[in-house]
Amino acid sequence: MQEIKVWDPLVRVFHWSLVAAFAIAFVTEDDFQTLHTYAGYTVLGLVLTRLVWGFVGTRHARFSDFVRSPREVLAYLKDMLRFRPPHFVGHNPAGGAMIVLLLASLLLTTLTGLMTWGAEGEGPLGAWLWQFGSSGEKMLEETHEFFANFTLLLVAVHVAGVAVGSLMHRENLVRAMVTGRKQIDGGQVQ
Protein backbone atom coordinates (compact mmCIF):
# COMPACT_ATOMS: atom_id res chain seq x y z
CA MET A 1 0.00 0.00 0.00
CA GLN A 2 1.14 3.51 -0.73
CA GLU A 3 -0.32 6.92 0.03
CA ILE A 4 -0.68 9.38 -2.84
CA LYS A 5 -2.05 12.90 -3.29
CA VAL A 6 -5.33 12.89 -5.19
CA TRP A 7 -7.53 15.87 -4.28
CA ASP A 8 -6.02 19.34 -4.46
CA PRO A 9 -6.90 22.00 -1.87
CA LEU A 10 -9.36 23.78 -4.18
CA VAL A 11 -11.39 20.58 -4.71
CA ARG A 12 -11.47 19.86 -0.98
CA VAL A 13 -12.37 23.42 0.06
CA PHE A 14 -14.98 23.53 -2.71
CA HIS A 15 -16.53 20.24 -1.58
CA TRP A 16 -16.90 21.07 2.11
CA SER A 17 -17.88 24.71 1.46
CA LEU A 18 -20.57 23.47 -0.92
CA VAL A 19 -21.86 21.04 1.70
CA ALA A 20 -22.16 23.89 4.21
CA ALA A 21 -23.64 26.45 1.80
CA PHE A 22 -26.23 24.05 0.38
CA ALA A 23 -27.24 22.89 3.87
CA ILE A 24 -27.65 26.50 5.03
CA ALA A 25 -29.65 27.43 1.93
CA PHE A 26 -31.86 24.37 2.27
CA VAL A 27 -32.75 24.83 5.96
CA THR A 28 -33.23 28.62 5.79
CA GLU A 29 -35.57 28.57 2.80
CA ASP A 30 -38.64 30.20 4.32
CA ASP A 31 -37.54 31.71 7.60
CA PHE A 32 -34.29 33.55 6.90
CA GLN A 33 -34.49 34.86 3.34
CA THR A 34 -31.34 37.01 3.52
CA LEU A 35 -29.22 34.11 4.79
CA HIS A 36 -30.88 31.81 2.23
CA THR A 37 -29.99 34.24 -0.56
CA TYR A 38 -26.36 34.64 0.52
CA ALA A 39 -25.99 30.88 0.83
CA GLY A 40 -27.48 30.50 -2.66
CA TYR A 41 -25.02 33.05 -4.07
CA THR A 42 -22.23 31.10 -2.38
CA VAL A 43 -23.43 27.85 -3.97
CA LEU A 44 -23.57 29.54 -7.38
CA GLY A 45 -20.07 30.98 -7.00
CA LEU A 46 -18.70 27.63 -5.88
CA VAL A 47 -20.34 25.75 -8.76
CA LEU A 48 -19.03 28.25 -11.33
CA THR A 49 -15.55 28.00 -9.82
CA ARG A 50 -15.70 24.21 -9.95
CA LEU A 51 -16.83 24.28 -13.57
CA VAL A 52 -13.77 26.33 -14.50
CA TRP A 53 -11.52 24.11 -12.35
CA GLY A 54 -12.92 21.09 -14.15
CA PHE A 55 -11.15 22.30 -17.29
CA VAL A 56 -7.96 23.89 -15.93
CA GLY A 57 -7.44 22.19 -12.57
CA THR A 58 -5.17 19.42 -11.43
CA ARG A 59 -5.34 15.97 -13.02
CA HIS A 60 -8.05 14.36 -10.86
CA ALA A 61 -10.08 17.58 -10.72
CA ARG A 62 -10.49 17.75 -14.50
CA PHE A 63 -13.67 16.49 -16.12
CA SER A 64 -11.52 14.65 -18.66
CA ASP A 65 -10.26 12.45 -15.80
CA PHE A 66 -13.64 11.26 -14.54
CA VAL A 67 -16.49 11.99 -16.95
CA ARG A 68 -17.21 8.70 -18.71
CA SER A 69 -19.74 7.47 -21.24
CA PRO A 70 -23.08 6.11 -20.01
CA ARG A 71 -21.91 2.64 -21.11
CA GLU A 72 -18.84 2.88 -18.83
CA VAL A 73 -20.97 4.12 -15.93
CA LEU A 74 -23.41 1.21 -16.34
CA ALA A 75 -20.55 -1.28 -16.63
CA TYR A 76 -19.05 0.07 -13.40
CA LEU A 77 -22.41 -0.16 -11.60
CA LYS A 78 -22.83 -3.76 -12.81
CA ASP A 79 -19.37 -4.56 -11.48
CA MET A 80 -20.39 -3.03 -8.14
CA LEU A 81 -23.45 -5.28 -8.00
CA ARG A 82 -21.12 -8.24 -8.55
CA PHE A 83 -18.90 -6.94 -5.71
CA ARG A 84 -15.88 -6.56 -8.01
CA PRO A 85 -15.70 -2.97 -9.21
CA PRO A 86 -12.34 -1.76 -10.50
CA HIS A 87 -10.55 0.72 -8.26
CA PHE A 88 -9.84 4.25 -9.50
CA VAL A 89 -7.37 6.72 -8.04
CA GLY A 90 -9.71 9.62 -8.73
CA HIS A 91 -13.45 9.42 -9.18
CA ASN A 92 -14.88 6.17 -10.49
CA PRO A 93 -17.33 6.37 -13.44
CA ALA A 94 -20.39 6.40 -11.15
CA GLY A 95 -18.85 9.10 -8.98
CA GLY A 96 -18.04 11.14 -12.07
CA ALA A 97 -21.63 10.86 -13.27
CA MET A 98 -22.84 11.94 -9.83
CA ILE A 99 -20.60 15.01 -9.90
CA VAL A 100 -22.02 16.04 -13.26
CA LEU A 101 -25.60 15.50 -12.02
CA LEU A 102 -24.95 17.41 -8.79
CA LEU A 103 -23.31 20.35 -10.55
CA ALA A 104 -26.14 20.54 -13.10
CA SER A 105 -28.84 20.29 -10.43
CA LEU A 106 -27.12 22.89 -8.23
CA LEU A 107 -26.74 25.23 -11.19
CA LEU A 108 -30.45 24.86 -12.03
CA THR A 109 -31.38 25.32 -8.36
CA THR A 110 -29.44 28.56 -8.05
CA LEU A 111 -30.53 29.95 -11.42
CA THR A 112 -34.21 29.27 -10.70
CA GLY A 113 -33.69 30.84 -7.27
CA LEU A 114 -32.28 33.98 -8.90
CA MET A 115 -35.19 34.00 -11.33
CA THR A 116 -37.72 33.57 -8.51
CA TRP A 117 -36.17 36.45 -6.63
CA GLY A 118 -36.11 38.48 -9.85
CA ALA A 119 -39.81 37.80 -10.43
CA GLU A 120 -40.37 39.40 -7.02
CA GLY A 121 -38.59 42.50 -8.34
CA GLU A 122 -35.45 41.78 -6.29
CA GLY A 123 -31.86 40.81 -6.98
CA PRO A 124 -29.82 41.16 -10.16
CA LEU A 125 -32.67 39.91 -12.38
CA GLY A 126 -35.37 42.03 -10.75
CA ALA A 127 -35.29 44.71 -13.42
CA TRP A 128 -36.08 42.12 -16.12
CA LEU A 129 -38.25 39.50 -14.45
CA TRP A 130 -40.63 41.50 -12.25
CA GLN A 131 -43.23 41.38 -15.06
CA PHE A 132 -43.77 37.63 -14.60
CA GLY A 133 -46.61 38.27 -12.19
CA SER A 134 -47.72 36.04 -9.35
CA SER A 135 -48.44 32.97 -11.51
CA GLY A 136 -45.00 33.14 -13.16
CA GLU A 137 -43.38 33.74 -9.80
CA LYS A 138 -45.17 30.70 -8.34
CA MET A 139 -44.04 28.51 -11.27
CA LEU A 140 -40.43 29.65 -10.81
CA GLU A 141 -40.62 29.06 -7.06
CA GLU A 142 -41.97 25.52 -7.55
CA THR A 143 -39.25 24.80 -10.11
CA HIS A 144 -36.63 26.11 -7.68
CA GLU A 145 -37.99 23.92 -4.89
CA PHE A 146 -38.09 20.88 -7.20
CA PHE A 147 -34.39 21.26 -8.07
CA ALA A 148 -33.46 21.89 -4.43
CA ASN A 149 -35.25 18.69 -3.39
CA PHE A 150 -33.81 16.78 -6.36
CA THR A 151 -30.33 17.95 -5.32
CA LEU A 152 -30.99 16.69 -1.80
CA LEU A 153 -31.95 13.29 -3.26
CA LEU A 154 -28.72 13.26 -5.30
CA VAL A 155 -26.76 14.11 -2.14
CA ALA A 156 -28.31 11.11 -0.36
CA VAL A 157 -27.37 8.82 -3.28
CA HIS A 158 -23.88 10.35 -3.32
CA VAL A 159 -23.36 9.71 0.40
CA ALA A 160 -24.61 6.12 -0.01
CA GLY A 161 -22.26 5.64 -2.96
CA VAL A 162 -19.32 6.96 -0.95
CA ALA A 163 -20.17 4.56 1.89
CA VAL A 164 -20.48 1.57 -0.45
CA GLY A 165 -17.35 2.51 -2.37
CA SER A 166 -15.39 2.96 0.86
CA LEU A 167 -16.44 -0.50 2.04
CA MET A 168 -15.83 -2.26 -1.28
CA HIS A 169 -12.39 -0.75 -1.79
CA ARG A 170 -11.47 -0.72 1.89
CA GLU A 171 -10.63 2.97 1.81
CA ASN A 172 -11.93 5.97 3.69
CA LEU A 173 -13.18 8.29 0.94
CA VAL A 174 -14.36 10.91 3.45
CA ARG A 175 -10.88 11.10 4.98
CA ALA A 176 -9.43 11.37 1.47
CA MET A 177 -11.67 14.37 0.77
CA VAL A 178 -10.37 15.98 3.98
CA THR A 179 -6.66 15.19 3.62
CA GLY A 180 -6.42 15.00 -0.17
CA ARG A 181 -4.60 11.66 0.11
CA LYS A 182 -5.63 8.09 -0.62
CA GLN A 183 -4.06 4.78 0.32
CA ILE A 184 -3.85 2.60 -2.76
CA ASP A 185 -2.61 -0.80 -3.80
CA GLY A 186 -0.65 0.05 -6.94
CA GLY A 187 -1.57 -3.21 -8.68
CA GLN A 188 -5.34 -2.71 -8.57
CA VAL A 189 -5.79 0.89 -9.60
CA GLN A 190 -7.06 2.51 -12.81
| Bridge partners for 24 per DSSP | none
pLDDT at 127 exceeding the cut of 70? no
CB-based contacts of 2, cutoff 8 Å, min separation 6: 183, 184, 186
Which residues is 184 bridged to in the sheet? 2
Mean pLDDT value across the chain:
89
CB atoms under 10 Å from CB of 97, counted, come to 22
* pLDDT tens per residue across span 158-171: 999 999 988 988 88
Please report the domains of the chain, with CATH numbers, ordered by start residue: 2-188 (1.20.950.20)
Categorize the per-residue pLDDT at 117 as very low, low, confident or very high, splitting at 50, 70 and 90. confident
**Does residue 138 register a pLDDT over 60?**
yes
More confident residue, 46 or 125: 46
CA 91 → CA 52, 76, 85, distances in Å?
18, 12, 13
pLDDT for 134:
66
Average pLDDT value for residue range 139-161: 95
Helix, strand, or coil here: 171? coil
Q: Which residues contact 157 (CB under 8 A, 6 or more apart)?
A: 98
Q: Is the pLDDT of residue 148 over 70?
A: yes
- Asked if 125 and 116 touch (Cβ cutoff 8 Å), the reply is no
Query: Directed axis angle between helix 93-119 and helix 33-56, to 10°?
Result: 140
Least confident range from 27-36, 123-132, 164-173: namely: 123-132
Antiparallel, parallel or unpaired: β 181-184 and 2-5: antiparallel
Distance CA 9, CA 13 (A): 6
Confidence of residue 139 (pLDDT cuts 50, 70, 90): confident
Reported as a pLDDT band with limits 50, 70 and 90, residue 133 is low
Q: Tens digit of pLDDT for each residue in 54-102?
A: 999 999 999 999 999 999 999 999 999 998 889 888 999 999 999 999 9
**Segment 123-143 mean pLDDT:** 72
Distance between CA atoms of residues 84 and 94, nearest Å: 14
3-state secondary structure of 3: strand
What pLDDT was estimated at residue 145?
A: 95
